Amino acid sequence: MSVLVAIGVGTDGYRKVLGIAEGQKEDKAGWSGFLGYLKSRGLAGIKLFISDACMGLIESIAEYYPEALWQRCAVHFYRNVFSVVPKGKISEVATMLKAIHASEDRESALQKAAAVSEKLEQMKLPKAADKIRSSIQETLTYYVFPSAHWRKIRTNNPLERIMREIRRRTRVIGAFPDGHSALMLSAARLRHIAGTKWGLKKYMDMDELTCHQAAVEMVA
């Protein structure tokens, strides 16, 4: 079984655990059930989803939150590219990929991505070049938002750290009698995390988003 977890940043700039549910697998049915559960509890006004390239989740987002944008986690994207790169060249390719996301705007990032793809072709890494050409745009959605937020919204690392903590706790148990038991332990850990500095310290200045949206509307 899998445990599905969602966290988010509210209009107050603080991080919150939005929900947790048991899932048999990470397919569209599982994610649709989870997003439907969150929506039924009143989750609304979502601006951006950040995740890896899970097709079931992406399809469910379009169904339940069609106005929300989706950002593919840049770190997961890097790992996907590394899967077709020889171990000895991963460090060099990582530097090239990071240079794309260090660009000052989306257009510059796309130009850098094209240059990186061409260089990978010259390095005899056509599969890596193809992955960048076909998917890099999915990792650049964060450019729509204020630059002050970019570093915090181009990956889902904050959730990954929480999931590692849950896995650390569940591995101690080893095997659970049923999915409900695993869910209760995971939920208890999330409650603890939410009550620490993680949930009590402001994570993002949402005034930046308000000002950014106002500026965009004025230009439009």
Which tens digit of pLDDT belongs to each residue from 19-54? 999 876 667 888 999 999 999 999 999 999 999 998
Whether the CB-CB separation of 191 and 197 falls below 8 Å is answered with no
Separation of alpha carbons 39 and 150, rounded Å: 26
Pick the range with the lowest mean pLDDT from 86-90, 102-106, 187-191.
187-191
Separation of alpha carbons 136 and 61, rounded Å: 20
> 0.95 cut: is pTM over it?
no
What do you get for the CA distance between the two ends of the chain, in Å? 47
Average pLDDT over residues 91-114: 97
Q: Which two tokens stand for residue 1?
A: 């079984």
Residue 220 pLDDT grade (very low, low, confident, very high; cuts 50, 70, 90): low
